[in-house]
C-alpha cells in the first residue's frame, strides 16, 4: 500500500482500510466504457447541470484568494466581484494534485464549483488552486524543466517537472510518467499549477502529438 497523497486529518490509515473493505465488499461492478471528462479539465468546463432535480444548480467562482478565515476563503474575482467560499471536509482540493485545504495559501488563484448558500457564501464541492491550461510550444528541455512559449507574443514560461507528479500523454495515449518522448519544437498542452512566487508553472500533465 502506498500513501502518495496527504491523507489529511480525517482519513488516516484505519479509515482508508475501512473504506477499502467497504468498497470491495458491497460494490456494484460496472464495465463497458462511456464518455467523460478529464478530472482537472473539469475546472475549465461549463458547470454541468445535475441530472438530479433535488440538487441546486452548480455555481462557479474564480479569482485570487485575499484572505483565509478558518474554512472560508475570501476571493476577489477578476471582474471586481467578491466571493466567500466555504470549504467542508467533502470539498476536493486540487493544487497540482489532489490535496487538502492546508495547501491553500493567500495570494493563490482559484476556480471553485459549488452551490449557492442562503447566506451568500458558496459551499464548494471542488476547488482548483492556481490551475493553468496553456497551449504552447516546447523551446528547450532540461533535467527538471521545460522551456515553453505560449500565445501570440511567444511569452516565455518555465514549466517545472515535479518528480512523482508530472505525467505525459503522447498521441492520445494514457498518462505515463515517461517524459522522455517530449521533443523540442512540439506543440504541447500543459496543465499545471502556477507558482505565484516566481511565475513559473509546475506541470501536472503535458499532452503532445494530439
Partner 1 sequence: MILDLAPLVCGVLLAVSGAAKLLGRRTAQVAANTVLVRVLGNGHRAAFALRAVGAVELAVAAGLLAAPATVVPGAATAVLGAGFVGYLGYAKATAPQSSCGCSARDEGPIGVRSFARAGAVLLCGVAAAFAGTAWWSRVARDPGWSVLVVAVAAAGLLALSTDLDRVWLPLRRLRLRVFGTPLPADPGGRVPVEATVELLERSLAWQASAPIVRSALLDAWDDDGWRVLRFAGVHEDARGARPVNVLFALDENATADANPSPAVRVSVIDDRTQEVVPVDLLALSGLRRPLRMV
When asked if residue 18 is in the footprint of partner 1 (CB under 8 A), the reply is yes
Kindly tell me which of 142 and 197 has the beta carbon lying closer to partner 1. 142
Least Cβ distance, residue 118 to partner 1 (angstroms):
16
Cell 482519513 appears where? 11
103 and 93 Cβ atoms separated by less than 8 Å: yes
SS3 203: strand
Residues 53-112 that bind partner 1 (CB under 8 A): 54-55, 90-92, 94, 97-98
Q: Considering only 7-15, 63-71, 77-85, 194-202, which stretch makes contact with partner 1 by CB under 8 A? A: 7-15
Contact 122, 83 (CB under 8 A): yes
Under the binding rule (CB under 8 A), the answer on residue 9 touching partner 1 is no
How big is the CA angle at 180 (ends 6 and 172), to the nearest 5 degrees?
80
Please identify which residue in 14, 80, 118, 143 interacts with partner 1, judged by CB under 8 A.
143
Cα 31 to Cα 22, 34, 76, 173: the distances in Å are 19, 10, 43, 20
Find the helix or strand (DSSP H, E) in which 147 lies: strand 145-150
Q: How many residues does the chain have?
A: 210
**Which 150-169 residues touch partner 1, going by CB under 8 A?**
153, 161, 163, 167
Binders of partner 1 in range 180-209 (CB under 8 A)? 180, 182-185, 204-205
With contacts defined by CB under 8 A, name the span among 67-75, 102-110, 140-148, 194-202 that binds partner 1.
140-148
**148, 199 Cβ separation under 8 angstroms:** no
Q: Residue 165 half-sphere exposure, CB side, CA atoms within 13 Å?
A: 20
Is the distance from CB of 58 to CB of 125 less than 8 angstroms?
Answer: yes
5 binds partner 1 (CB under 8 A): yes
Number of residues that bind partner 1 (CB under 8 A): 71
Minimum Å distance from CB 73 to partner 1? 16
Residue from 9, 14, 33, 46 touching partner 1 (CB under 8 A): that is 33
Interface with partner 1 includes 44 (CB under 8 A)?
A: no
Amino acid at each position: 500500500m502506498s500513501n502518495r497523497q496527504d491523507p489529511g486529518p480525517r482519513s488516516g490509515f484505519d479509515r482508508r482500510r475501512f473504506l477499502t473493505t467497504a468498497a470491495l465488499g458491497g460494490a456494484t461492478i460496472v464495465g463497458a466504457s462511456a464518455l467523460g471528462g478529464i478530472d482537472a479539465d473539469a475546472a475549465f468546463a461549463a458547470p454541468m447541470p445535475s441530472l438530479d432535480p433535488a440538487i441546486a444548480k452548480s455555481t462557479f467562482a474564480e479569482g485570487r484568494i485575499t484572505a483565509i478565515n478558518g474554512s472560508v476563503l475570501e476571493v476577489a474575482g477578476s471582474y471586481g466581484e467578491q466571493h466567500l467560499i466555504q470549504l467542508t471536509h467533502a470539498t476536493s482540493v486540487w493544487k497540482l494534485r489532489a490535496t487538502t485545504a492546508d495547501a491553500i495559501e493567500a495570494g493563490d488563484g482559484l476556480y471553485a464549483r459549488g452551490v449557492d448558500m442562503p447566506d451568500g457564501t458558496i459551499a464548494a464541492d471542488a476547488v482548483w488552486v492556481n490551475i493553468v491550461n496553456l497551449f504552447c510550444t516546447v523551446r528547450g528541455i532540461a533535467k527538471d524543466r521545460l522551456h515553453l512559449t505560449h500565445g501570440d507574443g511567444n511569452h516565455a514560461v518555465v514549466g517545472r517537472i515535479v518528480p512523482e507528479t508530472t505525467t505525459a500523454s503522447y498521441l492520445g495515449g494514457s498518462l505515463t510518467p515517461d517524459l522522455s518522448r517530449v521533443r523540442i519544437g512540439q506543440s504541447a498542452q500543459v496543465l499545471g499549477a502556477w507558482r505565484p512566487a516566481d511565475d513559473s508553472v509546475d506541470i501536472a500533465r503535458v499532452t503532445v502529438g494530439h
